[in-house]
Amino acid sequence: MKERRYPTLCSIGLLLLVAFPSQALADVAPGDVLDQSNYEKAEGLLPASVLDWIKKGDLIAEVKELTFDSSDYFAPPAKKLFQENVGKYDLDEHDTIIDAKTGARPDFIEGIPFPQPDLNDPKAGAKIMQNQFYYKYTQGNLRFPFQASWIGPSGFEREVVCAWRVLVLVGYPGAEGLSNKKSIERYGIIQVLSPFDIAGTNVLLWRYLDGRADSSFSYVPAIRRVRRLSPANRSDAFIGLDLSVDDAYGFDGKVGTFEWKLLRKQEALLPFVSNSPGLLEPAGQGQWQSAKSVKRVTYGYEKEGSQVAPWMPTNLAWIKREAYVIEMNPKDPYYNYGPQYMWVDAENFWCCYKIIHDRAGKYWKTFWVAEHPLESADKQLHWIGTGTHDMVDDRRQHASYLRSIAPENQFVYYAVEDRNDYSLAGFQKLCK
């Protein structure tokens, strides 16, 4: 009788490793709470730095699933033009958006310009980053207060109260037909409201539709003058925080000033303020605002008995979603950062993580944004807003965060703005 041969344990293990690589073995499900005891379950689903926070006990992540259809969470202009914009636009050598047929720069762009990025397109990374701007532009002009806080190993250190105002000239129907002789994509104003010693330190931003670098101006209360800033200043620490102006929303720089490379599309665990939407309410004159009833993010230093790092949120929802991973490198040799790696929500183009290396290529810090779903009471208007911005400097063991949508911070969308405030003369008058 012929001897029957059975595979050895060793050969079975080898087959399993080939069929199911280590990254594929890691997986999570709604209801999982990731901490030091089971952090391996999220391996490959999180950037290495974030996974390391869980491993060290600095972060505890509760996995949930969304209670709403996130594929529908686009402003009406974006939903209306989602199919129509496929193949309509392209990028030139400066990563400026052009008409795909004529090669000319369009005077007005509505909706998301590249709703279905081609993973094999050499410019896919740059197109995805253009999308993340236009997703926000479809929500019109913005106006909102926020708090910037410094957090060290022993907890809270100080807070600055600011406001952010944006006037956009592309992306949504309300901007179409507006005079735009300077080819402005958007204006922005950052205002420092308190404390007294730095109140009135304001920044004016002009972003252009063409290849020109941003124009930035700062009002300095001590000299009561507006001075022009170098575009390189956008990578400097803003008012002494661990983050810069370019770090807003994950990335708020000029797309054409970086080299972009789409590395992959993968499953990832992305942070949300809540797995259910907060309320959007009418604010008059066609404006909409986040309600005071929205969820507030609680940090470790604010929660008695918390075991996580003082700068870590304690009550976020972590959702498994598809994400693009993109490498970005600054073209400016004097830019403060070296290679950076963006993890971008593949559905709505929100930049959820940015892993920052120094100019020598060594890991430095991690910036991350928690998505905040919002919906009107009649469910006719819904989109994703920003719940919090967090920058963790792992070298210094220090962090800063911007508290965004919260009960005390009502975000106004389709805001009614005075365009004169964004001129040099109007800006100086606004600051005084």
Which of 63-77, 189-203, 255-269 shows the lowest mean pLDDT across its residues?
189-203
Classify each residue of 35-44 as buried b or exposed e, where b means 16 or more C-beta atoms within 10 Å of its C-beta.
beeebebbeb
Task: Provide the pLDDT for residue 229.
Answer: 83
Average pLDDT of the residues in 251-273: 97
The 10s digit of each residue's pLDDT in 123-144 is: 999 999 999 999 999 999 999 9
Of 204-218, 229-243, 327-341, the one with minimum mean pLDDT is: 229-243
Helix (H, G, I), strand (E, B) or coil at 192: strand
Of residues 225 and 252, which shows the higher confidence score?
Answer: 252
Give the DSSP H/E element, type plus range, for residue 12.
helix 9-19
Cα separation of 252 and 345, whole Å?
16
The pLDDT value given to residue 34: 98
238 has a pLDDT exceeding 50: yes
Average of per-residue pLDDT values in the chain: 91
pLDDT of the residue at 124: 98
Average pLDDT over residues 403-418: 96
pLDDT at 5 over 80: no
Whole-number pLDDT of residue 176: 94
**pLDDT category of residue 300 using cuts at 50, 70 and 90:** very high
Specify the amino acid at residue 86.
Answer: V
Rounded to an integer, what distance in angstroms lies between the CA atom of residue 202 and that of residue 400?
Answer: 19
Tens-digit pLDDT profile for residues 346-372? 999 999 999 999 999 999 999 999 999
Q: In Å, what is the CA distance from 237 to each residue of 369, 391, 429?
A: 18, 11, 26
What's the token pair of residue 29?
A: 């499900």
Residue 5 DSSP one-character state? -
Give the pLDDT band (50/70/90) at residue 16: very low
Domain positions in the chain = 73-126, 134-431
Check residue 223 and give its pLDDT. 80
pLDDT for residue 14 is more than 80: no
The phi, psi pair for 225, rounded to 5°, reads -135, 155
User: Is the confidence at residue 4, as pLDDT, over 80?
Assistant: no
Structure tokens at 135: 């997703």
Cα–Cα distance, 59 to 121 (Å, whole number): 36
* Total residue count of the chain as it appears in this document: 432
CB 219 within 8 A of CB 225: yes
pLDDT score for 376: 98
DSSP H/E element including 98: strand 97-99
Closest CA relative to residue 256, chosen from 107, 99, 121, 96: 96
Q: What is the mean pLDDT of residues 163-179?
A: 95
30-39, 72-81, 132-141: least confidently modelled range:
72-81
The number of angstroms, rounded, from the C-alpha of 202 to the middle of its chain's C-alpha atoms is 22
* pLDDT surpasses 90 at 27: no
Rounded-to-integer distance, Cα 164 and Cα 143, Å: 6
Residue-level pLDDT at 221: 85
Report whether pLDDT(224) > 90.
no
Question: What number is the average pLDDT over the span 271-290?
Answer: 98
Mean pLDDT of 272-282: 98
The verdict on domain 134-431 having CATH code 2.50.20.10 is yes
The DSSP symbol for 33 reads E
Alpha helices in 81-162 (DSSP H): 124-137
| Least confident range of 7-16, 55-64, 372-381 | 7-16
Burial of 258 (0-12, 13-18, 19+ CB in 10 A): buried
Residue 225 vs residues 42, 220, 222, 409: alpha-carbon distances, Å: 51, 6, 8, 29
